[in-house]
Chains A and B, each alone.
Chain A
Amino acid sequence: MTAVELSSNDLRSREKGTGSLVLGFGLLVAVTFTLLSLFVLLARIFTQAIPAFRERGSDFITDTIGSEPGISGIWPGLFGSFGIGVGVLLLAVPLGLAAAIYLEEYAKPTRFNRFVIVNIRNLAGVPAVIYGVLGLIIFVGWLKPITNGGSVIAAALTLSVLVLPVIIITGMEAIRSVPTGIREAGYGVGATRWEVTRDHVLPYAMPGILTGTVLALSRALGEAAPLIMIGAITGLLPETSLTGKFTAIPMLIYNWSGRPDSAGGAIGWSNSAAAAGLVLLVLVIAFNLTGVLLRQKFEKKRVGT
């Protein structure tokens, strides 16, 4: 038997030389570029928003939209965005989750069902404006008796349809990741399909489902294009009602950003727009944090600590 021949070079790193240096540098540039653009964006929003908050204080949140930046607030926009968020949580999340459960646990893998799943994936990539057209036709037009035209309800319905594919796809992936052993254990003691789904599959899939919910909510809160399509207004808006004219924070940002800063007041429209952007950012981050905390709670259960 011959001994294994091993020279001292054999166990040394091959990751030397210019090739790996270039690769490492390239990756670093990519990360730096990403972080830098994010930083510039945040810095710009903050510096622009601070004068607005200094001038208006909490009135910026609670005042209605005014004719001048110095007297304008975002309350109607906050109301609209809140309505959309609640609508998505109450409509799109249960509906999307139910669809995901059906497709993963109940539907047989027929050609038709595969076709349905592929198309749900495609729907997730459809531009938001197209959903705006859909909302205009169906929720503003056909369902006018219920929505009273371009109202918060119509907006919530439109954005629910928009985020439905995201919720279904992330829900399906979460459900698919549940180990077979857990399902079999449930069936093994005589549980029905629904009992296994309710008691074992859904709790185990909950972290993934929550991720989908947070993604969907963040997306719905940030969209402006479909709201433009269904006729959100951005002018003076004294009322905050579910069935009347409405606006939302992205609409205000979009509209205010386009207005010229008049010479007169202490702050311009661009400051108001940035401040509204900051509010939206804080809202989305708050939702994300809640999602992360809930996730951790469910994940802890999963590993049994």
Chain B
Amino acid sequence: MIQVQAVQPEKTTESSVVFSVRDLNVYYGEFRAVRDASFDINENEITAFIGPSGCGKTTVLRCLNRMNDFIETARVEGKIEYHGVDLYDPQVNSNEVRRRIGMVFQKPNPFPKSIFDNVAYGAKLSGRFSKSEIDEVVENALRQAALWDEVKDRLKASALGLSGGQQQRLCIARCIAVKPDVILMDEPCSALDPIATARIEDLMQEIKKDFSIIIVTHNMQQAARVSDRTAFFTTEINPESDRRTGVLVEVDSTRKIFSMPSDERTELYVTGRFG
């Protein structure tokens, strides 16, 4: 269900803001991939990042749980605050960050292990659960990911035997089992058929009461269906170097972005006349 929300990012009360991003610039070597992005992400909402290819939406998403740390040439400038804490403070442990800010990837990537071990892995590593609690954590995560009934009789079977859609729900369960606060989803349905996609979208609505979700999607209908708020990114071509840089055009309630966006570029994109 899409909530009508006309509140500007600046007006949201502090407790409900999960991420506060200011003047975010991301470079890969000399190349600036994202320029001056500023936005807020609210708690228990689904925020969609949309925009054409190369607009930096995935790059921005990966900055939010420091997944870009693994790209040697990547450099992040600006400020990303997570519940008021600077994520890029040298004191911050990036593994702890990723434990609280989980991620679901474009291609379902279960470990080549059993279904049970896949879900239990992160939870075991976190050290927050005793051995006897793990079984319960796994069951709850699989139930929340709407996969329990399909796999409860074959928890010891390899995860690679599941269908693509089941694998992606398993990846969501694996993420949920760590009990994160935010779930980042990078085009989670782009490798799935429409039925599997619909199941994931239903699932997102189910779990958003427990998590804040950010989803990158190429599919505008998907953004319109699932998200409460939408951020539109686009590319700008630098006339000197002829290279593209991603810019954030606007963030607003999904209804507003798709009906009466403030920026002309957004309107061109969502009406299908560009991109």
On whether the beta carbons of A301 and B112 are closer than 8 Å, the reply is yes
Flag B58-78 by CB within 8 Å of A: 1 or 0 each: 000000010100101000000
Interface stretch (choices A121-129, A177-185, A213-221): A177-185
Complex Cα distance, B112 from A109, in Å, reads: 28
Interface members, chain A 179-220 (any B CB < 8 Å):
179, 181-192, 195, 199-200, 203-204
Which residues of A have CB within 8 Å of B113? 301
**In angstroms, how far is the closest chain B Cβ from the Cβ of A303?**
7
Residues of A136-166 at the interface with B, using a CB-CB cut-off of 8 Å, are none
Bound Cα distance from A71 to B128, whole angstroms? 68
Contact of B126 with A190 in the complex, beta carbons under 8 Å: yes
Which residues of B have CB within 8 Å of A182?
A: 109, 111-112
Per the bound structure, the CA–CA distance linking A188 and B64 in Å amounts to 12
Instruction: List, in ascending order, chain A residues with CB within 8 A of B122's CB.
Output: 189-191
Q: Please count how many residues in chain B sit with their CB below 8 Å of the partner chain's CB atoms.
A: 33
B249 within 8 A of A: no
**B102 interface residue per 8 A CB criterion:** yes
Query: Chain B residues near A302 (CB, 8 Å)?
Result: 112
Instruction: Please name all residues of chain B whose beta carbon is closer than 8 Å to the beta carbon of A181 when the two chains form the complex.
Output: 105, 107, 109
Is there contact, CB below 8 Å, between A303 and B160? yes
Say yes or no for B256: interface residue by CB 8 A criterion.
no
Q: How large is the interface on A (under 10, 10 to 19, 20 to 34, 35 or more residues)?
A: 20 to 34
Q: Which residue of B lies closest to A191 (CB)?
A: B125
Where chain B touches its partner, the secondary structure class is: helix
Question: Least Cβ distance of B85 to chain A in Å?
Answer: 16
Given contacts A195-B125, A304-B112, contact A189 B107 (CB under 8 A): no
**Are B121's CB and A189's CB within 8 A?**
yes
**Would you call B26 an interface residue if the criterion is a C-beta within 8 Å of the partner chain's C-beta atoms?**
no
Q: Report the nearest A residue to B69, measured CB to CB.
A: A187
Across-interface contacts of B98 in A (CB, < 8 A)? 187-190
Q: In the bound complex, do residue B102 and residue A304 qualify as a contact, i.e. CB atoms below 8 Å apart?
A: no
> In the complex, are the beta carbons of B158 and A304 less than 8 A apart?
yes
B182 beta carbon closer than 8 Å to chain A: no
In the complex, what residue of chain A is closest to B107 when comparing beta carbons? Answer: A181
User: If A181-B105, A187-B98, A188-B103 touch, does A304 touch B72 (CB 8 Å cutoff)?
Assistant: no
Known: A181-B105, A305-B158. A191 touches B112 (CB 8 A): no
**B95 in contact (CB, < 8 A):** yes
For A301, give the chain B residue with the smallest CB separation: B112
Give A110's nearest chain B residue, CB to CB. Answer: B72
The smallest beta-carbon distance between B99 and chain A, in angstroms, is 3
Contact (Cβ within 8 A) A189 B99: yes
Give the contacts of B107-132 with A (CB-CB under 8 A). 107, 109-113, 121-122, 125-126
B24 on the interface (CB 8 Å rule)? Answer: no
The distance in angstroms between the C-alpha atoms of A148 and B125, with both chains bound, is 47
When each residue 6-24 of chain B gets 1 if its CB lies under 8 Å from chain A and 0 otherwise, what string results?
Answer: 0000000000000000000
User: Nearest Cβ distance between residue B165 and chain A, in whole angstroms?
Assistant: 17
Assembled-state Cα–Cα distance A68/B273 (Å): 94
A108 pairs with B72, CB closer than 8 A:
yes
Contact string against B for A residues 84-119, beta-carbon threshold 8 Å, 1 for contact and 0 otherwise: 000000000000000000000000110000000000
- B159 CB contacts on chain A under 8 angstroms: 304
* A108-B72, A190-B122, A305-B158 given; A185·B111 CB < 8 A: yes
* Chain B residues whose CB sits within 8 angstroms of the CB of A186 once the complex forms: 111, 121
Extra pairs beyond A189-B175, A190-B100, A195-B125 (4, CB < 8 Å): A181-B105, A186-B121, A189-B99, A304-B161
| A residues in contact (CB < 8 Å) with B | 108-109, 179, 181-192, 195, 199-200, 203-204, 301-305
